Amino acid sequence: VPRVTVHLGSILSKNIGRGNERRLEISLQEGGTIADLVQILKLELEPEKLLLAVNGRVARPDTVLEDGDRVHLMMPISGG
Amino acid sequence: MAFGYMGRILHVYLDEGKLEIEQPEESFYRQYVGGSALGLYYVLHHTPAGCDPLGPENTLVLAAGVLTGVPISGQSRLTATARSPLTGAIGDSQSGGFFPAELKFAGLDAIVLHGRAESPVYLWVKDGEAELKPAGHLWGQDTAEVERIIKEELADPKVQILQAGIAGENGVRFAALISNANRANGRTGMGAVMGAKNLKAVVVRGKSRPQVADPAALKELAKWGAENFPDSDIYGMGVYGTAEVLRFQDKDGGLPTRNWSSGTFESAIKLDGSTMAESILKERDTCFACVVRCKRVVEVLEGDYVVDAVYGGPEYETLATFGSYCGIDNLEAVALANQLCNRYGMDTISCGATIAWAMDCYEKGLLTDEDTGGLKLNFGNSRVMVDLVDLIAHREGFGAVLAEGSARAAQMLGRGEELVVAVKGQELPAHMPEVKRSLALIYAVNPFGADHQSSEHDPCYSGYPDRALQLGLDDPQPNDVLNKEKVRYALTTEWLYSAMDSVTICQFVFGSAWHLYDASQLADLVQAVTGWDFSVQDLLHLGEIRLNLLRTFNAREGIDSSWDVLPKKLFQPKVGGASDGVAITLEEYESAKTSYYQLAGWDPDAGIPTRAKLEELELGWAADMLG
């Protein structure tokens, strides 16, 4: 079973009641994707509205996650 | 010497070839701190009212800040300040990279450039010793070539070089200053000011380091940043670059398209940071001592638009102005336009937006083939867009007209004024006030023309309430309103951003929203470096000083509230996407402007600083300049 480290942006961690707890360990089913992860976390947001990265690289909602992956789920910034 | 500073400001009198070092008291540094505020002090004292922006009397100041060169992310920043040849108002522009830190290492806090050299020269500063060297052989050379030649002749590959490119030599009104051939003090035409001085480049190198009052506290803050970066909201900017926002701006109806006729572009995804990362991105780059690594380096080895990695890669603003503004979805063409701007030294925002204005005019029949020299300036014509960038830099053909910027070009031609999307003559950046309403106010009132890095954007108020609270902002508002509380938000964050441009730091790493460090940590950092008792309130006070100095310069030139005017296009409903039918109303804008002047403590009609306000800020000398 793949187990991944999830880094949550500040707005997302607050949205799911985790306050400043930004780093979570989550287990997924084999072949699980970022979209699945978003559901497991009950983020109640379409994954297309999030900025996504896996192991420091660009990722998409259908990116399949593997054991040990570092997944970043972030709200896009505004500014810059 | 004051902690954090090198204690030396170099005055260069280019007419006489004379170099003088000034060593200010700590009280001077405590009042003006650095960067923009410090630069404005010198510009106001050394530039006579009414000077020609491209004449010898226009003093140009290059200033680092109190934090520049200390080992923490986001501190290597430089401000360039002078009267703007693009707007006629004050000019002020920031950049990152490695030059700012090296300027401090070379023993200087700032350089004040007076007069004009008889023939091209460059300034060479090494370990506190400065000299002017001939630069005739560098004139007319591309920025990367100038980098190569200077490093070779000084036999030091690690010198840092800030230069006016070919566009600056040619007086393109939005010419930029370029360092590392890929970083720009882009806005307000500071490259043209330096070029007009016959000063090709400033070259720095040194072994000095600024002394820090509390090294343990600095180390703790740096360690906190490095440890928390992977869990921060700015992490994505490292992965995607600033282009991370492009597809989201589009979904929100906030991506300016076809010269601001729409807020959505059907091919936005082709320009997005994700597409760039999976196609032309070669590597990520960074600034001195920064963990974020948001800079892009792109490369295209073959095809119609070959792009050399030496010129870096496009930011969000550049992708929008050469892309969606022009109806162009060819990422490689946009990357080449970015390259040409870095190669010749031009602001990508004003350059792309000016071309988009010309395309809009052409599509509407206001410009003809006769005007353009046969160039088919239809939206979406990427070949012509790229060719025009070249023509503008060299002031050739129709490029000579567009080198004046869209507002002056419209005046010269007597056509297309209603399609100009600029404030005070500076083209709008790629964040739409239609969906982030406070920007309508900030774009209009900002003393150096429309700018997106002069305040926090609307979604940050409700998105980051804890951080807004540090500034005393406790009543979050929706994105699409421009009420009194939103005006308070705009002005308060404008003070913060003004302070950030003076201390001087990167507005991605520090800020009051999604940034790595918040405002309170920034104040702690200034305190750690200087030993001063320094709070968020001190930051806001510094920002207020800087904003009042900017406004004082303009007032001295007769620039008042009548210049705080939004372009007509913002009052016209956008077409398509999430902002379909949305427009700014004149009523809401005028009401916000009145509130803003009141809150700033300025004359409610003229919008200029009162004597009472300037004296409250211990700027009586500035009040004296206004009579």
Going from the first residue of chain B to its last (627 residues), give the mean pLDDT of each consecutive group of 10, the final group possibly shorter. Answer: 96 98 98 98 98 98 98 98 98 98 98 98 98 98 98 98 98 98 98 98 98 98 96 94 95 98 98 96 97 97 98 98 98 98 98 99 98 98 98 98 98 98 98 98 98 96 95 97 98 98 97 97 98 98 98 98 98 98 98 98 98 98 96
- Tell me the Ramachandran region of residue A7: left when phi exceeds 0, alpha when psi lies from -120 to 50, beta otherwise: beta
**Rounded distance between C-alpha atoms, residue A61 and residue A59, angstroms:** 7
Nearest to B106 by CA among B204, B210, B7, B212: B204
Contact between A53 and B235 using a beta-carbon 8 Å cutoff: yes
Residue B247 near residue B272 (C-beta atoms within 8 A): yes
Residues 6+ apart with CB under 8 A from B249: B255, B320, B430, B431, B432
Q: Return the structure tokens found at B362.
A: 């052409």
- Helices assigned H by DSSP within B47-205: 99-105, 143-153, 166-169, 190-196
The minimum CA-CA distance between B101 and chain A, rounded to whole Å, is: 22
Helix, strand, coil share (%) of chain B residues, nearest 5: 45, 15, 45
Residue B593 near residue B433 (C-beta atoms within 8 A): no
Q: Which residues in chain B are closer than 8 Å to A49, comparing Cβ atoms?
A: 248, 251
Q: Which residues in chain B are closer than 8 Å to A53, comparing Cβ atoms?
A: 235-236, 239-240
pLDDT in tens, B291-317: 999 999 999 999 999 999 999 999 999
**Rounded distance between C-alpha atoms, residue B100 and residue B69, angstroms:** 7
Q: Which residue of B has its CA nearest to A54?
A: B239
**Rounded distance between C-alpha atoms, residue B163 and residue B140, angstroms:** 12
Residues 6+ apart with CB under 8 A from B38: B29, B32, B61, B63, B65, B109, B110, B502
Contact between A78 and B513 using a beta-carbon 8 Å cutoff: yes
Residue A80, pLDDT > 80, answer no
Contact between B231 and A22 using a beta-carbon 8 Å cutoff: yes
Contact between B234 and A76 using a beta-carbon 8 Å cutoff: no
Contact between A74 and B233 using a beta-carbon 8 Å cutoff: yes
Q: Which residues in chain A are closer than 8 Å to B230, comparing Cβ atoms?
A: 7, 70, 72
Contact between A72 and B235 using a beta-carbon 8 Å cutoff: yes
Nearest to B231 among A7, A51, A57 (CB): A7
Q: Return the structure tokens found at B333.
A: 């063409």
pLDDT in tens, A23-77: 999 999 999 999 999 999 999 889 999 999 999 999 999 999 999 999 999 999 8
Residue B442 near residue B484 (C-beta atoms within 8 A): no
Nearest to A80 among B245, B274, B464 (CB): B245
The CA-based dihedral angle spanning residues B81, B85, B86, B88, taken in that order and rounded to the nearest 10 degrees = 90
The minimum CA-CA distance between A45 and chain B, rounded to whole Å, is: 14
Phi, psi of B2 (to 5 degrees): -65, 140
Residues 6+ apart with CB under 8 A from B27: none
DSSP bridge pairs for B422: B427
Q: Which residues in chain B are closer than 8 Å to A58, comparing Cβ atoms?
A: 239-240, 273-274, 277-278
Contact between A80 and B277 using a beta-carbon 8 Å cutoff: no
- Helices assigned H by DSSP within B121-182: 143-153, 166-169
Nearest to B291 by CA among B217, B238, B336, B338: B238
Q: Strand pairing of B177-179 and B281-285?
A: unpaired
Contact between A10 and B507 using a beta-carbon 8 Å cutoff: no
Interface check A74 vs B, CB under 8 A: yes
Contact between B514 and A57 using a beta-carbon 8 Å cutoff: no
pLDDT in tens, B149-170: 999 999 999 999 999 999 999 9
Contact between A79 and B278 using a beta-carbon 8 Å cutoff: no
Contact between A51 and B244 using a beta-carbon 8 Å cutoff: yes
Interface check A63 vs B, CB under 8 A: no
Mean pLDDT, chain B, integer: 98
Interface check A22 vs B, CB under 8 A: yes
Q: Which residues in chain B are closer than 8 Å to A55, comparing Cβ atoms?
A: none
Contact between A76 and B245 using a beta-carbon 8 Å cutoff: yes
The CA-based dihedral angle spanning residues B564, B568, B572, B575, taken in that order and rounded to the nearest 10 degrees = -110
Q: Return the structure tokens found at A60.
A: 């998409």
CB atoms within 10 A of CB B71: 14
- Tell me the Ramachandran region of residue B176: left when phi exceeds 0, alpha when psi lies from -120 to 50, beta otherwise: beta
Measured CA to CA in angstroms, residue B186 lies from B78, B191, B338, B554 at distances of 12, 8, 12, 20
Contact between A78 and B508 using a beta-carbon 8 Å cutoff: no
Query: ∠ at Cα B285 (B238, B336), nearest 5°?
Result: 100
Residues 6+ apart with CB under 8 A from B18: B12
Nearest to B244 among A8, A49, A76 (CB): A76
Task: State the helix-helix crossing angle for B348-363 and B382-394, rounded to 10 degrees.
Answer: 120
Does pTM surpass 0.90? yes
Q: Which residue of A has its CA nearest to B453?
A: A80
- Read off the amino acid at residue B64: A
**Rounded distance between C-alpha atoms, residue B373 and residue B368, angstroms:** 9
Q: Which residue of B has its CA nearest to A7?
A: B231
The C-alpha R_g of chain A, in whole angstroms, comes to 12
Measured CA to CA in angstroms, residue B458 lies from A49, B220, B447, B476, B498 at distances of 18, 32, 20, 9, 17
Contact between B508 and A9 using a beta-carbon 8 Å cutoff: no
Question: What ipTM, to 2 d.p.?
Answer: 0.95
Residues 6+ apart with CB under 8 A from B6: B104, B107, B108, B109, B208, B210
Q: Which residue of A has its CA nearest to B458?
A: A78
Buried b (16+ CB within 10 A) or exposed e, B97-122: bbbbbbbbbbbbbbbbbbbbbeebbb
Residues 6+ apart with CB under 8 A from B148: none
Q: How many helices (H) and strands (E) does chain A have?
A: 2, 5
Q: Which residues in chain A are closer than 8 Å to B255, comparing Cβ atoms?
A: none
Burial class (CB in 10 A: 0-12, 13-18, 19+), B213: middle
Residue B416 near residue B357 (C-beta atoms within 8 A): yes
- Helices assigned H by DSSP within B504-535: 519-530
Mutation target vs A (from B229, B234, B248, B255; most A CBs, 10 A cutoff) = B248
Q: Which residue of B has its CA nearest to A74?
A: B233
Contact between A11 and B463 using a beta-carbon 8 Å cutoff: yes
Q: Return the structure tokens found at B521.
A: 């940590």
User: How does DSSP assign B26-45, residue by residue?
Assistant: HHHHHHH-SHHHHHHHHHHH
The minimum CA-CA distance between B575 and chain A, rounded to whole Å, is: 22
Q: Return the structure tokens found at B163.
A: 């230069």
Contact between A58 and B456 using a beta-carbon 8 Å cutoff: no
Q: What is the pLDDT of residue B613?
A: 98
Contact between B235 and A74 using a beta-carbon 8 Å cutoff: yes
Interface check A19 vs B, CB under 8 A: no
Interface check A17 vs B, CB under 8 A: no
Q: What is the pLDDT of residue B584?
A: 98
Contact between B316 and A80 using a beta-carbon 8 Å cutoff: yes
Residue B173 near residue B192 (C-beta atoms within 8 A): yes
Q: What is the pLDDT of residue B437?
A: 98
Q: Which residue of B has its CA nearest to A49?
A: B248
Interface A:B, Cβ pairs < 8 A: 89
Q: Which residues in chain B are closer than 8 Å to A77, comparing Cβ atoms?
A: 233-234, 236-237, 244-245, 513-514
Q: Which residues in chain B are closer than 8 Å to A14, comparing Cβ atoms?
A: none
